[in-house]
């Protein structure tokens, strides 16, 4: 594997990204970087942002389609269709898609909150569907993706979906009723870490470091802490205890966080994220009635 000089893709099927925004690009970039697909296998389409499509052609060499006939053809011909539009746009997109689908075409949804059942109801048929929740770190091969399959997904198609997402990070197969919780942790999680990093950089600058210094120190601290948890196998709480000398400087910081109920606030935020995913899914169910 990987010794041949000819470029060889790990996945044979053609892939059409239906929706060409941040998440579609994160997955595409990871897949292309790792030669899981070659750009020639990939078609991308969106609703109307032509500049975005031009950028995707230039940056990745993928095929893009914009007129209606080409779009329909691209969707009809794809072995795998990745549903990558916002939840609010999903119902209209699925209705357009339905008459074009052949029974064995695999749909891979990355849409938050949208249940398999709702997708099938909006399509009016039992298409094979992999409901996934990746995150933007897939861009650099460090994604964390949750997956659940509809009954119609064949064993072979499952292998393909796992391959796609394992190539850009880790994969966790879960029950569908756990998808919102997973979204709260890993789907949206990069944003929480960035939020913490924003605050650390701001504090550094406020204390007189240059922005570059504060940024470098914050990045290395975040990477180091994540690797420590992974490589030592210790719980974050144990590792935290080792940084926190009794009555020392770290303890003083943690006391401020505790006084402001920071841990409970984070847990509440994650719960709210899961609830919001559910709400977005519920709004889509209403489109059915
Ligand atoms: N961003 C993230 O971290 C994550 C996002 N997700 C999920 O990914 C999905 C997309 O999110 P994100 O990439 O951030 O969103 P973006 O707004 O960046 O992209 C949405 C894309 O969908 C296109 N689109 C909308 N309606 C249609 C339509 N009818 N036909 C074709 N294309 C359409 C838009 O086209 P145009 O611009 O032309 O309107 C745009 O290219 C969401 O459902 C989200 O829940 C999942 C995990 C993580
Ligand atoms: O914010 C959102 O709705 C999506 C879901 C996970 C990450 N972004």
CB contact set of 170 (below 8 Å; sequence gap of 6+): 143, 144, 145
- pLDDT greater at residue 1 or residue 55: 55
111 lines ligand 1 (CB under 6 A): yes
pLDDT category at 3 given cuts 50, 70, 90 is: very low
Atom of ligand 2 nearest to the CA of 86: 3
Same domain, 166 and 212: no
- Judgement on whether residues 45 and 121 belong to the same structural domain of the protein: yes
109 and 241 in a single domain? The answer is no
Atom of ligand 1 nearest to the CA of 111: 43
Residues 42 and 146 reside in one and the same domain: yes
Q: What is the pLDDT of residue 11?
A: 86
Looking from the CA of residue 136, the nearest atom of ligand 1 is 3
Per-residue pLDDT, 60: 97
Check whether residue 119 and residue 90 sit in a common domain: yes
Tell me: do 36 and 139 sit in the same domain.
yes
Span 118-172, pLDDT tens digits: 999 999 999 999 999 999 999 999 999 999 999 999 999 999 999 999 999 999 9
Q: Is residue 181 part of a domain?
A: no
**What is the distance in A from the centroid of ligand 2 to the CA of 175?**
19
Strand order through the sheet with 106-109: 63-64, 42-45, 15-18, 80-83, 106-109, 129-133, 143-149, 169-173
**At which of 150, 176, 202 does a domain end?**
176
183 touches ligand 2 (CB under 6 Å): yes
Instruction: Report DSSP letters for 191-248, one per residue.
Output: HHHHHHHHHHHHHHHHTT--HHHHHHHHHHHHHHHHHHHHHH---HHHHHHHH--TTS
Looking at the fold, whether 128 and 203 belong to one and the same domain comes out as no
Shared domain check, 154 and 43 = yes
124: in domain: yes
Q: Residue 285 domain-assigned?
A: no
Q: Do 7 and 35 form a contact (C-beta atoms < 8 A)?
A: yes
- Cα-Cα-Cα-Cα dihedral sign, residues 49, 50, 56, 62: positive
pLDDT tens for 233-284 read: 999 999 999 999 999 999 999 999 999 999 999 999 999 999 999 999 999 9
**Sorting pLDDT into bands at 50, 70 and 90, what band is 287?**
confident
Same domain, 204 and 165: no
**Cβ of 187 less than 6 Å from ligand 2:** yes
Shortest-distance ligand to the CA of residue 22 = 1
Backbone angles phi, psi at 124, to 5 degrees: 75, 15
Q: Give me the CATH number covering residue 50.
A: 3.40.50.720
Q: Is 23 in the pocket of ligand 1 (CB under 6 A)?
A: yes
The predicted model gives 10-36 an average pLDDT of 94
Task: Report whether residue 132 contacts ligand 2, using a CB cutoff of 6 Å.
Answer: no
User: Using a 6 Å cutoff on CB, does residue 112 contact ligand 2?
Assistant: yes
**Residue 74: which domain range?**
15-176
Decide whether any atom of ligand 1 lies within 6 Å of the 48 Cβ: yes
CB distance 108 to 80 below 8 Å: yes
Q: Do 99 and 203 belong together in one domain?
A: no
Which ligand approaches the C-alpha of residue 183 most closely? 2
Judgement on whether residues 42 and 140 belong to the same structural domain of the protein: yes
Indicate whether 262 belongs to any domain: yes
- Domain boundary pick from 176, 198, 217: 176
- Residue 254 belongs to a domain with what CATH number? 1.10.3730.10
pLDDT digits 0-9 by tens, 189-237: 999 999 999 999 999 999 999 999 999 999 999 999 999 999 999 999 9
Picking from 145, 176, 207, the residue at the C-terminal end of a domain is 176
Q: Which of 113, 132, 180, 188 to mutate to test the pocket of ligand 2 (most atoms within 8 A of CB)?
A: 188
What is the tally of structural domains in the chain? 2
């Amino acid at each position: 594997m990987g010794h041949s000089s000819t470029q060889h893709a790990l996945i044979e099927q053609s892939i059409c990204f239906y929706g060409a925004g941040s998440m579609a690009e994160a997955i595409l970039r990871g897949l292309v970087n790792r030669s899981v697909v070659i750009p020639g296998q990939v078609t991308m389409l969106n609703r109307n942002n032509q500049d975005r499509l031009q950028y995707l052609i230039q940056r990745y060499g993928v095929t893009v389609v914009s007129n209606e006939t080409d779009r329909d053809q691209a969707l009809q011909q794809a072995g795998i269709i990745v549903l990558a539009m916002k939840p609010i746009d999903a119902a209209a997109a699925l209705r357009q898609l339905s008459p074009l689908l052949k029974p064995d075409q695999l749909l891979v949804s990355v849409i938050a909150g949208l249940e398999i059942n709702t997708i099938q109801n909006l399509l009016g048929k039992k298409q094979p569907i992999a409901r996934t929740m990746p995150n933007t770190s897939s861009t650099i091969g460090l994604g964390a993706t949750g997956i659940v399959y509809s009954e119609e997904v064949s064993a072979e198609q499952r292998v393909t979906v796992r391959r796609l997402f394992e190539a850009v990070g880790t994969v966790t197969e879960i029950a569908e009723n756990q998808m919102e919780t997973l979204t709260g942790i890993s789907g949206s999680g990069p944003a929480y870490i960035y939020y913490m990093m924003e605050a650390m950089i701001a504090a550094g600058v406020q204390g007189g470091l240059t922005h570059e210094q504060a940024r470098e120190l914050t990045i290395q601290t975040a990477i180091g802490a994540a690797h420590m948890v992974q490589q030592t196998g210790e719980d974050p709480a144990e590792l935290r205890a080792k940084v926190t000398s009794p009555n020392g400087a770290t303890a003083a910081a943690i006391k401020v966080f505790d006084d402001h109920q920071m841990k409970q606030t984070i847990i509440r935020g994650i719960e709210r994220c899961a609830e919001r995913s559910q709400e977005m899914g519920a709004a889509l169910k209403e489109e059915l009635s």
